[in-house]
Structure 1
Amino acid sequence: MKLVYIGTYPPRECGIGIFTQDLYQAMVADPDKEKADTLPAENPVEGFVVAMNDHDLEYAYPEEVKVVIRQEQQRDYLKAVKYINLSGAELCILEHEFGIFGGQNGMYILPLLHRLEIPLIVTLHTILEKPSYNEKAVLEQICKMAYKIVVMSHKAIEFLHSIYDVDPGKIELIEHGVPDIQYDQEQSKKAFKLEKKKFLLTFGIISRNKGIETVIKALPKVIEKHPDVVYMVLGKTHPNVLHHSGEEYRNFLHLLVKTLHLQEHVIFLNEFIDQNELFRYLAASDIYITPYLNEAQITSGTLSYAVGVGSAVISTPYWHATELLAEGRGRLFGFNDSVALSTILLELLDDPEALKKIRKKARDYGKTITWSKSGDKYVALARAVCRDKPEVVSRPETLIDPLMLPPFSLDHIRRLTDDTGIIQHAKFGIPNLKEGYCLDDNARALLMVLMDYRQTKNKIALSLAPIYLSYIHFMQNEDGTFRNFLSFSRQFLDEVGSEDSFGRTIWALGYLLGNAPNDAYYQTGKLVFFDALPNFEKIQSIRGIANTMLGISYYLTSNPSDESMVETLRNLAHKLVNHYGANRTEDWKWFEPLLAYDNGILPLALLHAAEILPEERIREVALESMDFLTKTTLHDGYLSIIGNENWYQKEGERSQFAQQPIDALAMILMYQQAFHLTKDKEYLSKLFSCFMWFLGENDLRMSLFDFETKGCCDGFESNGINRNQGAESSLAYLISYLIVLQAFEEFEEKQLVKTTGQGR
């Protein structure tokens, strides 16, 4: 029987990873061990691991890890499921925790599970009593796809049935396994030089919800009577906490210790130690404490370990603790109640026999939940599922296939970027410094890196953002308008840039205000955006108007109550609608008497406005003009862009050549927003067809993407590809790429709503 396990995995420092490794080792046949009792020789268990990576970190995984998924990279999930389906595996075991999978509430795992061609068992490590809409929908969908669901407490069964409507017949209770590692307490204390101390211990990943301050506040009263007490906090700060808040919580605890004069009694060991060392500390402890701040914890691996090794445990009454410490296996105290904790500590430290009784009951229970026993239960469950041979219904492939895309890379953008901004032109793949910088491209670059960071948490993208934002700020005039061009020697080359460049800048700034990665960027963007505001309604260029509308629309996603800005959007939308009315005829449904450049941006702006403004006329014009543009440029299964040699005059001949990437980008954005607005999946098919223009599905059947430089060529002429790879074309390609991934995610979310039968 061949199994595949999906979860985090050591050496990544993660509790789920340790669980996955323990489970793998408890189930998979080891030729050096006798397992004849549970594993018939003719059908041993074998398997491999698909490991989840956090962001762009790399680990030296052991040989059982065959595939690695980067958490925020959608393509990795699809590549992994293809590998699994071709591997000969008979069953998949998924370790589910919301935080280890990418996308909103871990949604990226769903496309992988939808495409599995083998039965699924899922172990749920978190089950929320009050989930958000998406949290509930994601978990319900996983439970529907799973043939069996493993939980570790009775409370979890209750929640799955009452909150998530899961059939109890699907659910199996297998308690959290515990390594069968035993150390003598006296020898362990001696090893740590604690033989003359009363040793209290808390271990695990550190974050504010762990309530360690409750223990520290309880210590002064205890130490008055037992001055030999030492309390150790063993564990690293949670990586997400480090990312957002640094060591704020740990510093707070250190300050609290100092304020209460407990420096001689509290030890912080900021390490992620191996199991053998951990169990030695557990054996040495007189009392183990889990002081979590609320009841919403359905499973605790640290608590299971402490009980399994026979520790005397004191805990707050969170769900798992209430079950595991029942029948005298531990003591409970109230949340945030340091007085009650100090009372229990004094009772137990004053009564060694009571401590011994608790330890014995915990140790006896621990013998029933060793990994060898839990592993046998998982093996029996896996064999039963395989014997049942459940039918697996694979969902049809989506209209978007991210695996057809080359790997995403910022190599060429980094090559074009210096400490001033992004160079606007290139000779082939080399920056052309003679041409200097322009506002348009730095605005596009800011938009692209913000999109990249929002979707993939790419730190390189985040590091580039302030360069482009500072260029925009530098180019702003006192009246809020912007210069456009800057020489390589940093000399201004114009007084006021085009309305198009103004609009593109507002677009990027509006996106920043709706998706700011931190407050510093938000405040700078807000300053520039509102300094430019007096010029919004002065714009006459319809593309400048459209780009500005996009910026306003993104701003309003996070500031919907700004009525003044809503009114500005309405006024600009009416300008576009009026242009449309003045030029539309039965056979020419467009905003001007020609199709020129960046055409899709005009319907796109109205599609965004239609989402905010309840005016049917805006929606009608958006969809009608989009349909006209579609019939003109998207036929025979591929995109044929209006060339900018002579463009396409009404009642004239359309130009085929000098096709440019910004037009493909506008079409892709237009169809994404059309799908978002209408939920018509046909727009996804069109979106993907437009993206494939970059990769050879075009009039010349030649790829504009350069697989060597990772840049995009500037377009194509009648005699072939323009091999220069400037900022505009490469940024158009990369933004388009990110839109494809975003549209794929939105489609998966739509499928989630459809299959769960829930609406927002």
Structure 2
Amino acid sequence: MTDMAPPPVFTHLLAMTDHRATFEHACLTDRRREHGYCTDDMARVLVVATREPDTPGVLNGLAGKALTFLNEAQSFDGACRNRMTCGGHWTDQPSTDDHWGRTVWGLGTAAAQSDVSMVRRLAVIQFDRAAEARSPHPRAMAFAAIGAAELLTFDPGHPTALKLLTDYVAALPEPTDDAEWPWPEPRLTYANAVLAEAMIAAGVALDDEALRRRGLNLLEWLLNYETADGHLSPTPAGGRGPGDTRPGFDQQPIEVASLADACARAATVDPRPLWPEGIRSAAAWFQGDNDLGLAMWDPETGGGFDGLHADGVNLNQGAESTLAVIATLQQARRFSPVSQ
């Protein structure tokens, strides 16, 4: 596994984007207009666009589109719509499913990390509206908690962010005493590492050492559980539970990106080398250090492939997979030996 990951490439993401937003799906490299856009992806777009250092103008434009989309997605009570047609019509009603949590995550990240003052101001305004809502879904609340923790790095006393984090912590399940399966769910499902990352982020923001440590311990267990023969072997789309046959397919890039983001957050509060090593393993997974030894991205365009199957790679390059590659390589760059 090489220490040096390539830089993120935005060419395919920009090609997937029109005047309104980024299309959700692709057939190989061609955007599928008939499937439209989604809030989930535009929140991710806002994250990667605003945390890119020395942001070029084209990415500032992308962040602006994401902010406009997320603003239109929100209702007055903070809940969000998720799906829009290519003609600009919403097809669902506002809810607080995962796309709401990702919206809060994106807005908090933009407020804390954008180098454009107008983006920061608009992100805070939208955050204050969205973060008044609450979700019954653990991952939605975890994404929102990460966004709140991000905002608190920019404005440590922000009341809406503090209240969201406090409510998130109050709703967490009690830790399990099962050393073999400490995970707070009976099976791993999707974007698993976000549950641990949110605990770390909230623990730091609220100065709760026990919660911070719980998140680090869960993430360490997950990273070990998702590693086989020296490479990542992430939870497949069907989930993974105790005793499941491994490796499992269809593996999704979102799992790898979630691990990279969580390891990056852990690395800021815990000096152990396993976290940068986890990030490098995530980047290496896209480069072919995986269960089939096959590349999961196009290094020329930055397009991410949609899944690793038992019989090969799903070569469609949708927005979620492409954003997962970009996010992972951003973290790998942050924690590469040269950058430290």
Scaled to the shorter chain, the TM-score interval is: over 0.9
Q: Deviations over 1:288-331 (max 9, x none)?
A: xxxxxxxxxxxxxxxxxxxxxxxxxxxxxxxxxxxxxxxxxxxx
Q: Distance in 1 between matches of 2:185 and 2:17?
A: 36
Q: Are the equivalent residues in 2 in contact too, given 1:648–1:655 (CA < 8 A)?
A: no
Q: Distance in 2 between matches of 1:746 and 1:708?
A: 23
Q: Deviations over 1:353-382 (max 9, x none)?
A: xxxxxxxxxxxxxxxxxxxxxxxxxxxxxx
Q: Are the equivalent residues in 2 in contact too, given 1:643–1:654 (CA < 8 A)?
A: no
Shift of 1:725: 0.3
Name 2:57's counterpart in structure 1. Answer: 459
Could you say what secondary structure the match of 1:721 adopts?
strand
Q: Deviations over 1:444-473 (max 9, x none)?
A: 011111112xx1332221122111111111
TM-score (norm: length of structure 2): 0.94
TM-score (norm: length of structure 1): 0.43
Q: Distance in 2 between matches of 1:584 and 1:437?
A: 42
Name 1:440's counterpart in structure 2. Answer: 40
Q: Does 1:542 align with 2:135?
A: no
Q: Are the equivalent residues in 2 in contact too, given 1:480–1:533 (CA < 8 A)?
A: yes
Q: Does 1:742 align with 2:331?
A: no
Counterpart amino acid of residue 474 in structure 1: E
* 1:231-250 correspondence runs (5 A): none
Q: Distance in 2 between matches of 1:529 and 1:567?
A: 13
Could you say what secondary structure the match of 1:595 adopts?
coil
Counterpart amino acid of residue 319 in structure 2: A
Residues 730 and 507 from structure 1, CA distance in 2 versus in 1: closer, same or farther, beyond 3 angstroms? Answer: same
Q: Are the equivalent residues in 1 in contact too, given 2:131–2:160 (CA < 8 A)?
A: no
Residues 648 and 547 from structure 1, CA distance in 2 versus in 1: closer, same or farther, beyond 3 angstroms? Answer: same
Q: Does 1:502 align with 2:100?
A: yes
Counterpart amino acid of residue 401 in structure 1: D
Q: Are the equivalent residues in 2 in contact too, given 1:640–1:699 (CA < 8 A)?
A: yes
Among 88, 91, 98, which residue is 1:490 paired with? 88
Q: Distance in 2 between matches of 1:496 and 1:564?
A: 20
Q: Distance in 1 between matches of 2:25 and 2:3?
A: 31
Among 218, 221, 239, which residue is 1:625 paired with? 218
Q: Does 1:559 align with 2:150?
A: no
Name 1:714's counterpart in structure 2. Answer: 306
Name 1:667's counterpart in structure 2. Answer: 259
Q: Are the equivalent residues in 1 in contact too, given 2:9–2:299 (CA < 8 A)?
A: no
Q: Which runs of 5+ in 2 are unaligned?
A: none
Shift of 1:708: 4.5
Greater than 6 Å deviation, 4+ residue runs: none
Residues 564 and 482 from structure 1, CA distance in 2 versus in 1: closer, same or farther, beyond 3 angstroms? Answer: closer
Residues 564 and 449 from structure 1, CA distance in 2 versus in 1: closer, same or farther, beyond 3 angstroms? Answer: closer
* 1:724-735 correspondence runs (5 A): 724-735=316-327
Q: Are the equivalent residues in 2 in contact too, given 1:449–1:461 (CA < 8 A)?
A: yes
Residues 713 and 498 from structure 1, CA distance in 2 versus in 1: closer, same or farther, beyond 3 angstroms? Answer: farther
Q: Deviations over 1:551-582 (max 9, x none)?
A: 00010001112355324313312423x2x52x
Q: Distance in 1 between matches of 2:279 and 2:117?
A: 33
Among 529, 541, 546, which residue is 2:127 paired with? 529
Among 563, 570, 579, which residue is 2:166 paired with? 570
Q: Are the equivalent residues in 1 in contact too, given 2:302–2:326 (CA < 8 A)?
A: no
Could you say what secondary structure the match of 2:136 adopts?
coil
Shift of 1:498: 5.2
Residues 650 and 681 from structure 1, CA distance in 2 versus in 1: closer, same or farther, beyond 3 angstroms? Answer: closer
Shift of 1:685: 1.5
Shift of 1:747: 6.3
Residues 745 and 546 from structure 1, CA distance in 2 versus in 1: closer, same or farther, beyond 3 angstroms? Answer: farther
Could you say what secondary structure the match of 2:216 adopts?
helix
435-444 vs 459-468, greater mean Cα deviation: 459-468
Among 14, 19, 25, which residue is 1:414 paired with? 14
Residues 707 and 682 from structure 1, CA distance in 2 versus in 1: closer, same or farther, beyond 3 angstroms? Answer: closer
Name 2:180's counterpart in structure 1. Answer: 587
Higher strand share: 1
Q: Deviations over 1:576-624 (max 9, x none)?
A: 3x2x52x552211101111111111111111112222222320232122
428-437 vs 700-709, greater mean Cα deviation: 700-709
Could you say what secondary structure the match of 2:280 adopts?
helix
Counterpart amino acid of residue 553 in structure 1: A
Name 2:3's counterpart in structure 1. Answer: 401
Q: Does 1:601 align with 2:194?
A: yes
Q: Distance in 1 between matches of 2:242 and 2:96?
A: 25
Q: Distance in 1 between matches of 2:206 and 2:67?
A: 29
The number of residues matched between the two structures is 340
Among 638, 641, 660, which residue is 2:231 paired with? 638
Shift of 1:641: 0.5
Q: Which runs of 5+ in 1 are unaligned?
A: 1-398, 749-760
Could you say what secondary structure the match of 2:101 adopts?
helix
Counterpart amino acid of residue 484 in structure 1: N
Shift of 1:654: 5.7
RCO higher in structure (CA 8 A, sep ≥6): 2
Counterpart amino acid of residue 204 in structure 2: E
Q: Distance in 1 between matches of 2:70 and 2:178?
A: 40
Could you say what secondary structure the match of 1:534 adopts?
coil
Q: Distance in 1 between matches of 2:116 and 2:216?
A: 36
Q: Distance in 1 between matches of 2:157 and 2:301?
A: 45
Residues 563 and 500 from structure 1, CA distance in 2 versus in 1: closer, same or farther, beyond 3 angstroms? Answer: same
Q: Distance in 2 between matches of 1:549 and 1:745?
A: 30
Residues 564 and 709 from structure 1, CA distance in 2 versus in 1: closer, same or farther, beyond 3 angstroms? Answer: closer
Q: Distance in 2 between matches of 1:436 and 1:584?
A: 45
Counterpart amino acid of residue 424 in structure 1: E
Q: Are the equivalent residues in 1 in contact too, given 2:282–2:328 (CA < 8 A)?
A: no
Residues 707 and 691 from structure 1, CA distance in 2 versus in 1: closer, same or farther, beyond 3 angstroms? Answer: closer
Counterpart amino acid of residue 632 in structure 1: Y
Residues 570 and 744 from structure 1, CA distance in 2 versus in 1: closer, same or farther, beyond 3 angstroms? Answer: farther
Counterpart amino acid of residue 477 in structure 1: S
